[in-house]
Amino acid sequence: MNPDRRTILATGALALAGAATHSVPAEAQISPKPIFSVPATTIPIVGEEGVFPVRRIYCIGRNYAAHAIERGSDPTREPPFFFQKPTDAIQNVAIGAVADHPYPSLTRNYHHEVELVAALKSGGSNISPEQALDHVYGYALGLDMTRRDLQNGMAAEKKPWEIGKSFDHAAVLGPIHPVPKTGHFTKGAISLAVNGTVRQNSDLDKMIWSVAEQIAKLSEAFELKAGDIIYSGTPENVGPVVKGDVLLCKLEGLPDMSIRIV
């Protein structure tokens, strides 16, 4: 063994001995520092200084009978199904603003889906429908924007929908309204107009699975947690938008939300 190697081994042994006999220095107990920062996704809350931190975005598919039919399924027999969007797909839209929304890449059939969104302050597994609403912090008006041609193309090939649903800016969202101010939403008119012409027009009471039932069903598949939000499905008459279109979303009991496709 050459002297250098002997020195290295000795130093290593000393270090091990030190670790065994001395307490760990305070600085060593701090978790490793990220090598760069990634912005957290948050949603403004009406009437609060604090913002809502987002953990996951869940979406339910085909939750209004007439929309299920237009998408080619039988609404009377199918259990609810869910998909996710990436958290940083959220585009926050302020009350009273007309936010610019970029027309995404790759699609030639970009669709609007207006939806009620529930935001959770707590969660769990196997939550009962009776207790589900206790976990809701508040509600918002949202748009589940969809590259329909890509979604349909992938579905036809029995491949994941991801590219049709889970792209940048695909989760358009108004601010969250805390439950004490609005109550829970089980009924109420929901609509979407494009350039002043109403395209989608329904009522929350036509949802096949209520928000409480969605939370219960979701919690069978995933452990829900504070910061999760749920897009609760869109009524019928989804359709395409093009650059320059102005979308106006309305939900009875909440302020309007508007975007312009650019």
Nearest to 201 by CA among 246, 251, 145, 242: 251
Q: How many residues bind Mn ion (CB under 5 A)?
A: 3
Nearest to 249 by CA among 121, 143, 150, 176: 143
SS3 assignment, position 107? coil
Contacts of 27 (CB under 8 A, 6+ apart): none
Rounded CA-CA distance 36/112 in Å is 35
Within 13 A of 211's CA, how many CA atoms are on the CB side? 26
The window from 35-43, 101-109, 137-145, 176-184 that contacts Mn ion (CB under 5 A) reads 137-145
135 or 165, CB closer to Mn ion? 165
Residue 236 interacts with Mn ion (CB under 5 A)? no
The one among 54, 144, 218, 250 contacting Mn ion by CB under 5 A = 144
Report in angstroms how near the CB of residue 152 gets to Mn ion at its nearest: 14
Residue 234 interacts with Mn ion (CB under 5 A)? yes
The window from 28-36, 80-88, 136-144, 156-164 that contacts Mn ion (CB under 5 A) reads 136-144
Within 13 A of 186's CA, how many CA atoms are on the CB side? 5
113 or 228, CB closer to Mn ion? 113
The one among 113, 141, 143, 212 contacting Mn ion by CB under 5 A = 113
Report in angstroms how near the CB of residue 18 gets to Mn ion at its nearest: 59
Instruction: List interacting residues with Mn ion (CB under 5 A).
Output: 113, 144, 234
